[in-house]
């Protein structure tokens, strides 16, 4: 390379955002992409009324997102280590734009499912890559808080999506189009932000399918962390998919802004709890998180029995906090127990459990609602998840003694 070429290359690098600016731009992009995955939340009831489908069909549309996430995690989970963070992030942005554009023209269930799958692929590609990029791009003085910044961007974006969409659907024209048109604009800006960033990895990884295996020494810890994770993500799936239906069918409130706010409460409580519990010993935090999930399900049962909006909000907050603590600190417990060279595949396996939990139980809830009604199905769901979380809580002391 000539001196002039080296100078041009160095100048190009200098023009790219770095340090705190790069971290902020990555956090913005992360939040925007994740917000897009929850934008449809307050719209499911409106889609159902427009297209004439049942609660079960609505849950299947919602759960298609998880299929996209799982495919992305397994097929592309290692790609950013091999080809760099920026290309993978840009692919995630492109999929997010494609998802929003598909929602814009959706006129039937098949198109809605396709849009959700694209959204899931975007999130699955973006989540791990953006988290790693934020940690790598953070200046030294921010390094200790970089993981928390990534968490807030991730879960905060998930929480912002339903609120933004709910307000636009309730108070603005074109209720099924405006939110997605706005998201395309925000996502394009996120893509420009990613282009402005430097590459943060040395591209030392290899392309290939992400393995999903568990070393023998981590299986006990994984079983309990996965149980708590399953319970917590099932709760989040319930609030994201069915909060509008609970409000309109059982409480008689058809305000889409309120529906979005209820779902958002769970995600924002999760983000706050993850940050607050960051220094809590993992096994103690898992116990606290599972206890909160049990309490959240008791509160949800009471809210469904009494048709209480306030109770539904409180249940969302408590359950979201429980999910945030049990998942984040459960992942930390698994990381501590796993050999360094096996951590990627073990954490990926936990994420697979998480996204199965956010989809399959919700579909089961839709099936139950079709046969026994939404209230009975919701109460049955709450009891089942409460028992699952309680089982994890009871088993934790035995695991600690064995350790």
Each residue's pLDDT tens digit, 121-145? 999 998 888 888 888 888 887 766 7
Domain range holding 325? 212-403
Q: What is the mean pLDDT of residues 68-91?
A: 87
Specify the DSSP class assigned to residue 209: P
Determine contact, residues 164/41, Cβ cutoff 8 Å. Answer: no
Indicate whether 106 pLDDT > 90: yes
> 335: closest CA among 286, 369, 300?
286
Q: Which two tokens stand for residue 134?
A: 């934020």
Do residues 81 and 171 both lie within one domain? yes
Question: What value does the mean pLDDT of the chain take?
Answer: 86
Do residues 136 and 89 both lie within one domain? yes
pLDDT for 14 equals 44
Do residues 34 and 166 both lie within one domain? yes
Do residues 315 and 288 both lie within one domain? yes
- pTM (predicted TM-score): 0.86
Q: Among 196, 230, 257, which residue terminates a domain?
A: 196
Q: Among 196, 229, 256, which residue terminates a domain?
A: 196
Q: Among 196, 230, 254, which residue terminates a domain?
A: 196
pLDDT band (50, 70, 90) for residue 7: very low
> 125: closest CA among 72, 87, 68?
72
Contacts of 8 (CB under 8 A, 6+ apart): none
| CB hemisphere CA count around 148 (13 angstroms) | 12
Each residue's pLDDT tens digit, 353-373? 888 898 889 999 999 998 899
Q: Which two tokens stand for residue 382?
A: 């709450």
Between the CA of residue 395 and those of 174, 194, 229, 277, 281, what are the distances in Å?
A: 51, 44, 14, 21, 17
Query: Would 203 be classed as within a structural domain?
Result: no
Q: Which two tokens stand for residue 80?
A: 């950013």
Q: How many domains does the chain have?
A: 2
Indicate whether 401 pLDDT > 80: no
Q: What is the CATH number of the domain that holds 217?
A: 1.20.1250.20
Determine contact, residues 355/327, Cβ cutoff 8 Å. Answer: no
Contacts of 222 (CB under 8 A, 6+ apart): 214, 334, 337, 346, 349, 350
Do residues 219 and 120 both lie within one domain? no
pLDDT for 117 equals 97
Do residues 83 and 192 both lie within one domain? yes
Q: Please tell me which residue, 401 or 297, carries the higher pLDDT value.
A: 297
Query: Would 98 be classed as within a structural domain?
Result: yes
Query: Would 207 be classed as within a structural domain?
Result: no
Each residue's pLDDT tens digit, 27-69? 999 999 999 999 999 998 889 889 998 889 999 999 999 999 9
Each residue's pLDDT tens digit, 170-213? 999 999 999 999 999 999 999 999 998 888 777 766 677 777 77
Q: Which of 250-289 are b and which e, b meaning 16 or more Cβ less than 10 Å from the residue's Cβ?
A: bbebebbbbbbbbbbbbbbbbbbbbbebbebebbebbbbb
Indicate whether 312 pLDDT > 90: yes
Query: Would 5 be classed as within a structural domain?
Result: no
């Amino acid at each position: 390379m000539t001196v002039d070429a080296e100078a041009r290359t160095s100048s190009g690098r200098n023009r790219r955002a770095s340090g705190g600016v790069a971290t902020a731009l990555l956090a913005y992009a992360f939040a925007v992409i994740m917000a897009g995955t929850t934008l449809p939340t307050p719209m499911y009831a409106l889609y159902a009324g427009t297209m004439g489908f049942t609660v079960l069909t609505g849950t299947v549309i919602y759960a298609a997102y998880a299929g996209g996430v799982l495919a992305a995690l397994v097929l592309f989970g290692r790609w950013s280590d091999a080809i760099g963070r920026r290309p993978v992030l840009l692919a995630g942005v492109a999929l997010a734009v494609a998802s929003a554009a598909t929602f814009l023209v959706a006129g039937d269930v098949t198109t809605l499912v396709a849009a959700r799958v694209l959204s899931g692929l975007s999130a699955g590609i973006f989540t791990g890559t953006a988290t790693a990029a934020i940690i790598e791009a953070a200046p030294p003085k921010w390094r200790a808080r970089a993981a928390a910044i990534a968490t807030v961007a991730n879960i905060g974006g998930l929480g912002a999506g339903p609120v933004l969409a709910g307000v636009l659907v309730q108070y603005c024209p074109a209720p099924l189009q405006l939110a997605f048109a706005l998201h395309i604009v925000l996502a394009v800006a996120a893509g420009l932000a990613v282009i402005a960033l430097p590459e943060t990895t040395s591209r030392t990884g290899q392309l290939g399918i992400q393995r999903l295996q568990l070393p023998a020494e981590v299986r006990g810890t994984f079983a309990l962390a996965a149980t708590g994770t399953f319970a917590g993500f099932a709760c989040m799936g319930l609030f994201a998919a069915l909060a509008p239906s609970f409000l309109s069918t059982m409480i008689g409130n058809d305000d889409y802004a309120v529906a979005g706010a209820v779902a958002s409460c769970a995600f924002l409580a999760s983000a706050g709890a993850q940050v607050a519990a960051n220094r809590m010993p993992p096994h103690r935090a898992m116990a606290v998180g599972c206890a909160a999930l049990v309490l959240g399900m008791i509160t949800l049962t009471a809210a469904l029995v009494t048709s209480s909006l306030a109770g539904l909000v409180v249940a969302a907050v408590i359950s979201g906090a429980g999910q945030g603590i049990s998942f984040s600190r459960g992942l930390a417990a698994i990381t501590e127990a796993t050999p360094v060279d096996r951590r990627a595949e073990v954490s990926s396996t936990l994420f697979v459990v998480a996204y199965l939990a956010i989809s399959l139980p919700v579909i089961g809830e839709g099936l139950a609602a079709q046969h026994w009604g939404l209230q009975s199905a919701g109460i049955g769901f709450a009891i089942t998840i409460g028992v699952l979380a309680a089982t994890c809580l009871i088993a934790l002391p035995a695991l600690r003694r064995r350790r």
